């Protein structure tokens, strides 16, 4: 299950998302199911993005809330500088692209594995 938690204070809002890949990982820990490749891709991708947080994604927190994949922290200063609509669009685009990027990377990894396997088996023919 995917989920979202929104916490607000007087001068900031923290928005946390749990993506399906991480939800699958949490479920897999209990019943040995799920796609470990997708989980690994999401983990590596999120790690890369959080390392870039200060430069490219000022609202992205380096460490998400426990149990969630990613957290955004929006302050009054962010709204004054970027505007509410732009921040909303940034978060929506980020979340919609996350699933697409993970799927694209998974397809690329599978294609590379298929190619390597084919080339390896040619040596035995």
Report the pLDDT value the prediction gives residue 16, as an integer from 0 to 100.
Answer: 94
CA pair distance 34, 38, nearest whole angstrom: 9
Per cent of the chain over pLDDT 90 is 38
Instruction: Print the domain residue range for 90.
Output: 3-122
Q: How many CA atoms lie within 13 A of 36 on its CB side?
A: 4
Using a 10 angstrom Cβ sphere, with 0-12 exposed, 13-18 middle and 19 or more buried, the burial of residue 16 is buried
Assigned token pair, 119 = 């080339």
Please report how the helices 84-122 and 36-51 are oriented relative to each other, as an axis angle in degrees rounded to 10.
130
Domain of 114, CATH number, reads: 3.30.1460.20
Chain segment 103-123, per-residue pLDDT in tens: 899 899 999 999 999 999 998
Convert the pLDDT of each residue in 48-66 to its tens digit: 887 776 666 788 888 888 9
Q: Model pTM greater than 0.85?
A: no
Q: How confident is the model at residue 124 (pLDDT cuts 50, 70, 90)?
A: confident
Tokens standing for residue 51:
């390392």
């Amino acid at each position: 299950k995917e989920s979202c938690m929104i916490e607000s204070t007087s001068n900031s809002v923290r928005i946390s998302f749990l993506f399906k890949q991480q939800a699958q990982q949490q479920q897999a820990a209990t019943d040995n199911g799920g796609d470990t490749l997708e989980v690994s891709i999401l983990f590596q991708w999120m790690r890369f993005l959080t390392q870039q947080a200060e430069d490219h994604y000022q609202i992205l927190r380096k460490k998400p809330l426990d149990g969630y994949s990613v957290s955004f922290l929006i302050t009054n200063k962010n709204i004054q500088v970027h505007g509410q609509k732009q921040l909303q669009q940034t978060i929506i685009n980020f979340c919609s692209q996350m699933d697409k990027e993970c799927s694209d990377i998974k397809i690329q990894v599978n294609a590379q594995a298929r190619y390597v396997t084919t080339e390896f088996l040619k040596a035995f023919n």
